[in-house]
């Protein structure tokens, strides 16, 4: 796997740890890592859309249920698996929050409920009348929209937004949620909690993709006293 050039670094790393587990836990032999070093995986930055691009994508999704699902992910930063598993009882309109009951690692967290999203969900409820899950599947009560179905929504949207030269997915809108919050001045610690990151390092990556307001930065040269006299021959 290391030399054939046909496997991605992530697959090689998975094979590495599987082999180490076999040696240490099954065969009970010493693992000499110097003979087989851990493969390095390139760290990629998250793909992020601008606010204008987010609006454009939402605009081309004509199905109200599908558009509401993508809007839900963007407004809460929920993972796509969390979105499709949201139940009606998880929407707390009085406390204006969304309760994620089984997030990654079975962790619970509470997310802010946008007034616009709440208004949208009320209209959605009147039209579709879901019984248990917020986004019911084709099977009706007791079923929910599938993760693959949500991915397909955005695959179709990509064909309708050729001016957006980015292969966006449902997870992109989770990245957009965090990045746009950061650009609006939200604390990294707050974003970490909203995203459900156990480690702050997972949240720090958004520092590299945020759009900085460089037009408001005052250059230090301009703040030097009497510098004008040095700008002449």
Residues with active-site annotation: 79, 104, 171, 174, 197, 206
**CA dist., res. 99 & res. 110, Å (int):** 5
Give, in order, the Cα–Cα distances in Å from 161 to each of 37, 62, 137, 165, 213.
Answer: 44, 13, 26, 8, 27
CB 57 within 8 A of CB 69: no
User: How much helix, strand and coil, in percent to the nearest 5, is found in the chain?
Assistant: 55, 10, 40
**CA dist., res. 10 & res. 41, Å (int):** 7
**CA dist., res. 75 & res. 69, Å (int):** 10
Ordered alpha helix ranges (H), 129-225: 147-160, 170-183, 188-195, 200-204
Per the structure block, which two tokens stand in for 163? 């001016």
**CA dist., res. 77 & res. 65, Å (int):** 18
CB 135 within 8 A of CB 145: yes
């Amino acid at each position: 796997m290391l030399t054939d050039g046909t496997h991605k670094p992530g697959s090689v790393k998975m094979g590495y740890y599987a082999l180490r587990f076999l040696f240490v836990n099954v065969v009970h032999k010493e693992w000499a890592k110097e003979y087989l070093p851990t493969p390095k995986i390139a760290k990629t930055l998250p793909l992020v859309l601008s606010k204008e691009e987010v609006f454009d994508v939402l605009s081309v999704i004509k199905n109200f249920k599908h558009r509401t699902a993508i809007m839900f992910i963007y407004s809460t930063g929920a993972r796509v698996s969390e979105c499709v598993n949201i139940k009606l009882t998880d929407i707390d309109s009085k406390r204006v929050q969304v309760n994620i009951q089984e997030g990654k690692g079975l962790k619970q967290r509470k997310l802010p409920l946008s007034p616009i999203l709440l208004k949208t969900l009320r209209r959605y409820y009147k039209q579709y009348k879901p019984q248990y899950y917020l986004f019911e599947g084709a099977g009706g009560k007791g079923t929910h929209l599938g993760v693959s179905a949500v991915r397909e929504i955005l695959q179709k949207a990509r064909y309708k937004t050729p001016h957006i030269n980015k292969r966006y997915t449902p997870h992109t809108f989770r990245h957009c949620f965090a990045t746009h919050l950061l650009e609006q001045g939200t604390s990294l610690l707050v974003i970490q909690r909203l995203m459900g990151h156990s480690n702050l390092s997972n949240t720090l990556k958004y520092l590299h993709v945020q759009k900085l307001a460089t037009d408001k930065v005052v250059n230090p040269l301009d703040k030097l006293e009497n510098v004008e006299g040095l700008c002449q021959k």
